[in-house]
A and B are shown apart, each in its own frame.
Chain A
Amino acid sequence: MLIKADTGRCVGAGQCVLSAPDIFDQDDQAVVTLLEREPGESLDLVLQAADRCPAGAISLEDGSAG
């Protein structure tokens, strides 16, 4: 499973970093960046981040970072 973060939709609210600081970060314009591509052990936190994102910018899709 791969984490997808849509930087075009991101509004910089930072809810993802609060939910899963080991997975998400924000660049100097507060736009979401990914520290990890796969949720691994943090799946619950990633799902929480996706749920709390006010812009709906975070999702999970099938695939692997291979």
Chain B
Amino acid sequence: MTTTEERGLMSSDLPFELRMCPHLRRARQGPAVRRVRTPTGDDAWLVSGHAEIRELLNDGRIGRSHPAPEERARYAGNPTYDQVMGADHGAADAMHAGLRAALKPHFTTRRMLELRPALAALVEARVDALLAQGPPADLREDFAGPLVRQVFAEMLGVPAADRDRCAELMRLGAAGDLGGLYVFLTELAAAPPESSMVARLGEAGLAADQVVQIAMLLQFAGFGATVKQIEYGFLLLAQDRSRRELLAADPELLPLAVEELLRLAGSLSLPRYAREDLTIGGVVIGAGDLVLLDLTQGNYDSDAFAEPTEFSPERSPNRHLTFGHGVWTCLGAPLARQVLRLVFAALLTRVPTLRPLTPVGNVSGPLSGGLPETLLVTW
């Protein structure tokens, strides 16, 4: 009989303090693939080895469908997070491929480079607003949140005159009031194709309600992650004044530093189901079993990263898994990279004394990655 750990924590479940403090944090320990019990009490395989996660993300024998969805093991007890794409593997893969094909043209690196001046202006305006408001401030509500909403409005192609309204509807949407955002996006989708990315998605053959759902999904998928990366990055840099000065003096160092922030911040982890028996890391995973790919622990694997708990802004190569891998690579990664580089360039040079005001406690729910509810800062 296989031993099952009582309560298998994925690293995205760890309390904020444990994830942030290098002295408390441990590198990946134990086998790369092991049996765990999820928070819902179901059995699962936790994959925490960097090589094993990369291999599985390129393996068509795991996916987001399950032949008997009602009987499947669950990870989080959260309907959004535990979602499966139906019982038919072929249909699930086709849906995923179709979605990626429709969205990919809008997330090319060229487009993101073209967006860079507009994104830089949004970042500068947010820093202006922060400075005008004066300390103390909440980094999430007064900076990261409003900025990322503006970025989404820009990326979706919302006309300049409607951006503030769109950002406000996104804020209300995240708080549970989706009606206004739905109507706004529906109108955006119905406008002529040349007017916005949302309208062009309709032109690519997607039904109007599908376009609206995708636009909402993009926004919710990207918003929390990007805000979180800004907050983690700020807190990591806040611990080391000499590094901040180094990065402020030489913006060329920022791209690598951002990759290192992304590695340490990690990501929510991916629940998948085995479609047939498969062997990984010397372990046989049975057909239908729940497989949890812990991207964050993969980022802390000492087989893949020297001194993985250290923040080394010059680390290269840095094959972190924060944006996934293979066909499960985050489409928004080029956008996130641009935004993070611009944000830290601006904060480090324009608000060099920015620091947390209060000790970081006040832990929120596990699925948020354990960030504090508010992040009060001063300068």
The contact of B329 among A17, A25, A29, A54, by CB within 8 Å, is A54
Considering only CB atoms, which chain B residue lies closest to A30 in the complex? B104
Known: A14-B110, A21-B113. 17 other contacts (CB 8 A): A11-B100, A11-B326, A11-B329, A12-B104, A14-B107, A14-B108, A14-B109, A15-B333, A17-B113, A21-B109, A25-B110, A26-B109, A29-B101, A30-B105, A30-B108, A54-B325, A54-B329
Considering only CB atoms, which chain B residue lies closest to A47 in the complex? B317
The B interface, classified by DSSP as helix, strand, loop or mixed, is helix
What total of chain A residues lie within 8 Å of the partner, measured CB to CB? 19
Report if A14-B101 is in contact (Cβ < 8 Å); known contacts: A54-B324, A54-B329: no
Q: Which of chain B's residues 308-327 have a Cβ closer than 8 Å to chain A? A: 317, 319, 323-327
Q: Does B108 lie within 8 Å of A26, measured CB to CB? A: yes
Q: Which of chain A's residues 18-66 have a Cβ closer than 8 Å to chain B? A: 18, 21, 25-26, 28-30, 48, 51-52, 54-56
A13 at the interface (CB under 8 A from B): yes
Q: Mind listing 13 A-B residue pairs with CB under 8 Å?
A: A11-B100, A12-B104, A12-B108, A14-B107, A14-B108, A15-B334, A21-B113, A29-B104, A51-B317, A54-B323, A54-B324, A55-B58, A56-B58
A15 to B109, CA, bound (A): 7
Considering only CB atoms, which chain A residue lies closest to B321 in the complex? A54
Considering only CB atoms, which chain B residue lies closest to A10 in the complex? B104
The contact of A13 among B101, B319, B334, by CB within 8 Å, is B334
The A interface, classified by DSSP as helix, strand, loop or mixed, is loop
B331 at the interface (CB under 8 A from A): yes
B337 at the interface (CB under 8 A from A): yes
Q: Does A17 lie within 8 Å of B317, measured CB to CB? A: no
For residue A28, give the distance in angstroms from its CB to the closest CB of chain B: 5
For residue A10, give the distance in angstroms from its CB to the closest CB of chain B: 10
Contacts of B107 in A (CB 8 A): 12, 14, 30
For residue B323, give the distance in angstroms from its CB to the closest CB of chain A: 7
B112 at the interface (CB under 8 A from A): yes
For residue A61, give the distance in angstroms from its CB to the closest CB of chain B: 21
Q: Does B105 lie within 8 Å of A51, measured CB to CB? A: no
Binding site for A on B (CB under 8 A): 58, 100-101, 104-105, 107-110, 112-113, 317, 319, 323-327, 329, 331, 333-334, 337
Which 7 pairs between the two chains have the least Cβ-Cβ distance? A14-B109, A30-B104, A17-B109, A12-B104, A54-B329, A26-B108, A13-B329
A39 to B144, CA, bound (A): 39
For residue B307, give the distance in angstroms from its CB to the closest CB of chain A: 20
Interface centre among A14, A21, A51, by most chain B C-beta atoms within 10 angstroms, is A14
A48 to B110, CA, bound (A): 18
A30 to B335, CA, bound (A): 14
For residue B218, give the distance in angstroms from its CB to the closest CB of chain A: 15
Contacts of A28 in B (CB 8 A): 105
Contacts of B327 in A (CB 8 A): 11, 55
Q: Does A26 lie within 8 Å of B324, measured CB to CB? A: no
Q: Does A13 lie within 8 Å of B105, measured CB to CB? A: no
Contacts of B325 in A (CB 8 A): 54
A17 to B111, CA, bound (A): 11
For residue B137, give the distance in angstroms from its CB to the closest CB of chain A: 32
Contacts of A56 in B (CB 8 A): 58
Report if A26-B110 is in contact (Cβ < 8 Å); known contacts: A12-B100, A18-B334, A18-B337: yes
The contact of B108 among A11, A17, A51, A54, by CB within 8 Å, is A17
Interface centre among B104, B110, B323, B333, by most chain A C-beta atoms within 10 angstroms, is B104
For residue B260, give the distance in angstroms from its CB to the closest CB of chain A: 14
Report if A51-B104 is in contact (Cβ < 8 Å); known contacts: A13-B334, A17-B110: no
Contacts of B105 in A (CB 8 A): 28-30
Q: Does B104 lie within 8 Å of A54, measured CB to CB? A: no
